[in-house]
Amino acid sequence: MTKIIELKKLKKHYPILGGVLRRQINSVKALDGIDLIVNRGDCIGIVGESGCGKTTTGKAVIKLHPATGGNIIYYPKDNSANGSKTGIDITAMSGSKSRKIGLTGKMQMVFQDPTTSLNPRMLIKNIIAEPLRTKGGFSSRQMHEKVIELLNLVGLTKDHLLRYPHEFSGGQRQRIAIARAIATNPELLVLDEPTSALDVSVQAQILNLLKKLKDEFNLTYLFITHHLLVVKYISTRIVVMYLGKIVEIADTQDLFDNPMHPYTFALFSGIPSTDGKAVSSRIVLTGDVPSPIDPPAGCRFHTRCPFVIDICKKHPPQLESVNNNTTHQVACHRKNEIPELVKNSFGKTGS
């Protein structure tokens, strides 16, 4: 496995301005120090309740929103072919330097709602060609041919070139957004709830298209969703986030078979099985998600955790491996006890 991206203590705090002078009076700690290694070919699912920092993670990785702290390290493909493991810190890299190292267009994002992410005044051919123009180096003829090729790849045709976004269904619009995202031959795609705004009937088609493109072009995905069955279907690994932090990471099947963090158990409680019953023990969380402006001290989950003890309120738990399994990491002071505690308090565990 070769790395493509490594996040080190990555932070994104959005400033809150106030007073007549519009000075910064506080900040939203949307992303508050996350560590994550993404390997080439991974499909990493990022899950967690609304507001936990999933979209912010995606935007920080592709540098749509510059990080407030920490580092984003990019490992070029050619380096890995040479056996070199040198990464490049791209956190504060300028556009021209990115272009110089060939990073322009290598990381793209598909947004949740194609109605707002596609410019309603632009023709489809221009929407898809836009990233090619930004990257540069294409003649108009090359661009035209590439746009047709991309339309075909996502299941549309050249008859769609001279139309506007409103002439398409939601599913077709998301296909156009995907064509635009893959136009520059990216290596990594951030997919931010790409099927959530679509009719149930077309969600599976878009998921299958994304799976096909991933295989065909050896893509790496960061797949953001709050839909656990979607993430189970498409992801190789899953990251569980809570209030700007990662609380658990594991390979997909391992996470579903052996969840360790109380919050993961709570998330899984909501998954219905085919016979309509919950597949795991039902932990119903009490209280609201605390504000990311002033998150709780210690473990951020302690205000809602049924297993909270004193240390949880003072010391933030670190993300650590469990049972010598380096691929499964949990941030909880009581990680080794939790499955048993859940079983005794709430019934059966796992899915």
Ligand X SMILES: Nc1ncnc2c1ncn2[C@@H]1O[C@H](COP(=O)(O)OP(=O)(O)O)[C@@H](O)[C@H]1O
Backbone phi, then psi, for 267, in 5-degree steps?
A: -60, -45
Q: Residue 179 or residue 255: which is nearer to ligand SF4 going by CB?
A: 255
Q: Which residues contact 291 (CB under 8 A, 6 or more apart)?
A: none
Q: CB neighbours (10 Å) of residue 3?
A: 18
Q: Over the Cα atoms of the chain, what is R_g?
A: 21
Per CB under 6 A, 155 contacts ligand X = no
The answer to whether 117 contacts ligand X (rule: CB under 6 A) is no
Residues binding ligand SF4: what is the number (CB under 6 A)? Answer: 12
Pick one of ligand SF4, ligand X, Mg ion, none as the site partner of residue 51 (Cβ within 5 to 8 A by kind).
Answer: ligand X
The reply on whether position 175 binds ligand SF4 by CB under 6 A is no
Label the pairing between strands 3-18 and 107-110: unpaired
By CB under 6 A, is residue 47 in contact with ligand X? no
Task: Note whether 51 and 14 are within 8 A (CB).
Answer: no
Least distance in Å: CB of 38 to ligand SF4?
25
Of the candidates 205, 198, 201, 186, the one whose C-alpha atom is nearest the C-alpha of residue 225 is 198
**Applying CB under 6 A, which of residues 4, 7, 10, 28 lies at the interface with ligand X?**
28
Q: In this structure, are residues 209 and 126 in contact, taking their beta carbons and an 8 Å threshold?
A: no
Asked if residue 319 binds ligand SF4 (CB under 6 A), the reply is: no
Q: Is 255 exposed, middle or buried (0-12, 13-18, 19+ CB in 10 A)?
A: buried
Which of 5, 7, 47, 55 forms a contact with Mg ion (CB under 5 A)? Answer: 55
Query: Using CB under 6 A, which of 236, 308, 319, 351 touches ligand SF4?
Result: 308
Q: Tell me if 50 contacts ligand X by CB under 6 A.
A: yes
223 versus 242: smaller Cβ distance to ligand SF4: 242
Cα first-last separation, the chain: 28
Does the protein bind ligand SF4 through residue 302 (CB under 6 A)?
yes
Least distance from ligand SF4 to the Cβ atom of residue 244, Å: 14
Q: Which residues sit at the interface with ligand X, rule CB under 6 A? A: 14, 28, 30, 48, 50-56, 292
Q: Which residues sit at the interface with Mg ion, rule CB under 5 A? A: 54-55
